[in-house]
Amino acid sequence: MNEQQVEIYDVKRPKKSTPDLNNFTESVFEHPEYWSIPKNDKIDEFPLLDDSSIREQVLDILNLEDIYEIASISQYQNYHSWSLYMAMKESFQQRVDSGEIEAVNETYAIHGTCASNVTQIILNGPDRIYNKTSLYGKGTYYAKSASYSLQENYAKPDNLRRQTLLVCRILRGDSTIGNPSQIISQKQNGFNYDSLTNPEKNIYVIPKDHQEYIEFKVLIKKHNCNLLDYTIDLPIDVNLCRQKIDLLPYYPAISSNPVTNYNPYIGCYENFELDYNSLFYINSKTYGLGIYENKKEAGTAFSRVFYHVVIKKNDISTLHKDYVVPLSIPTPIYISSCCTYCVQNNLDFDQGLKNKKQIMNDILSDQSGNFLKNTKYNPMNRLRYEEYKCISCDICVFKCDCDYQCYTNSGDLSRTNAWNHHKHRCSNLKKVLFQN
């Protein structure tokens, strides 16, 4: 196991005053106020819960032009990378004070990547040599909104069609419009520019180390709508319960017009004197979502309801004021000691959702980067095999040279009876002994 292991802790943090991600007020020796208590010396990863104010702000930063299924949002606390980034920010501030540059220009930006690259990027930072296009110069490319980074040649979908976005802090300093052959250019005062951009100034090219800090990972999936998936029992022209809508997980108002994007799942903001009346249309029925003070709040209400009904496939009647949750016999809750990724993908055999053969096939074909492959050799019995081990828990698959496979969620071969039996009966082992 690599000593630079990313630890995942599914914890609920104590409530604090709502921080603003865009304040950027930390000093060189400070961590952000919203960071959690460290669990590891090097890197921690914390999942952001649905009711987290930080999660809401990350979704706002994405500036999405569509409504996607949000599989997960994680926050990285990379203590070494943070100290290097803050040291670079301090040097930028000193250059501002001396008049060398006009401003630090710290901002959030988005980088799309393949899921299998994430662990390497988090541990070692982005590698600019992998940038093949260099349309606006040499460096690591970031975008102001997610629509650019979600192009599949950047954020390559995994086998579940999920795409990975990294939300990062970057230091732009003084910037100029770049071109394909440009590395960095000098200003008239003889000093170099700190970053490059495109004519619209919504793409940022960072040419140097430690000018970016990777803070959040968003796993996102494009959803294809199908009218046949939904049955609506409520009558036409019903007002839904505003309080129940407000309790739904936050989703920002999309930046494009939903009337053209979601027909017949239509939302619109009717100007009602100085307020906005948010509506939701589905299957030729109209539902009022309430009257809001501004277009953004009205759009957020539409996005929440759309996500609840169309993407999560919940009945819209659950949002009616008279809806009562039906009584049911509670089912036992399974609590797994495995990591969040393995539980979400049903890779823990004790969950009882897949047989071991299905789990082993999923792990051997996994492209997310969550399983590290190592080749092993036992000199005592001359057995060669490959180990596919989760980077965050003890789930592991062992694959012998003879193609025999064995699964364990304890990470310990000696506790696996099937493997202990196989290592004395392997056909490859017999061939080696016979040849000697």
The CATH class that applies to domain 7-222 reads alpha beta
Tokens of 353: 């959702």
Cα separation, 17 vs 179, in Å, equals 44
- Residue 114 to residue 214: CA distance in whole angstroms: 15
Segment 353-391, tens digit of pLDDT: 777 888 888 888 888 888 888 888 777 667 788 888 888
Judged against a pLDDT cut of 60, whether residue 398 lies above it is answered with yes
- Measured distance CA(201)–CA(180) in Å, rounded: 16
Give yes or no for residue 402 having a pLDDT over 60.
yes
pLDDT for 44 = 92
Residue spans per domain, the chain: 7-222, 227-319, 340-435
DSSP β-ladder status, 195-197 and 140-143 = unpaired
Percent of the chain with pLDDT over 70: 77
pTM above 0.95, yes or no: no
Task: Quickly state the pLDDT bin for 327 (edges 50, 70, 90).
Answer: low
Highest-scoring range by mean pLDDT, 89-103, 258-272, 361-375: 89-103
Which two tokens mark 249? 């997980």
Q: Measure Cα distances from 185 to 126, 137, 142, 176 in Å.
A: 22, 10, 19, 8
Answer whether residue 293 shows pLDDT above 70: yes
CA–CA distance, 402 with 385 (Å, rounded to integer): 9
For tokens 């009876």, the residue is 417
For residue 333, name the pLDDT band (cuts at 50, 70, 90): low
Answer yes or no: are the C-beta atoms of 319 and 341 closer than 8 Å. no
Average pLDDT over residues 261-287: 59
CA angle 32, 36, 40 (to 5 degrees): 110
Q: Is 119 helix (H, G, I), strand (E, B) or coil?
A: helix
Structure tokens at 114: 């393949």
The pLDDT of residue 264: 36
For residue 301, what pLDDT band results from cuts at 50, 70 and 90?
Answer: confident
Both structure tokens of 339: 């990591």
**What pLDDT is stored for residue 415 in this prediction?**
57
Task: Write out the two tokens for 389.
Answer: 């081990």
Contact of 368 with 377, CB cutoff 8 Å? no
For the stretch 194-249, pLDDT in tens is 999 999 999 999 988 899 999 999 999 987 655 445 545 565 568 889 889 989 99
Question: What pLDDT shows up at residue 7?
Answer: 45
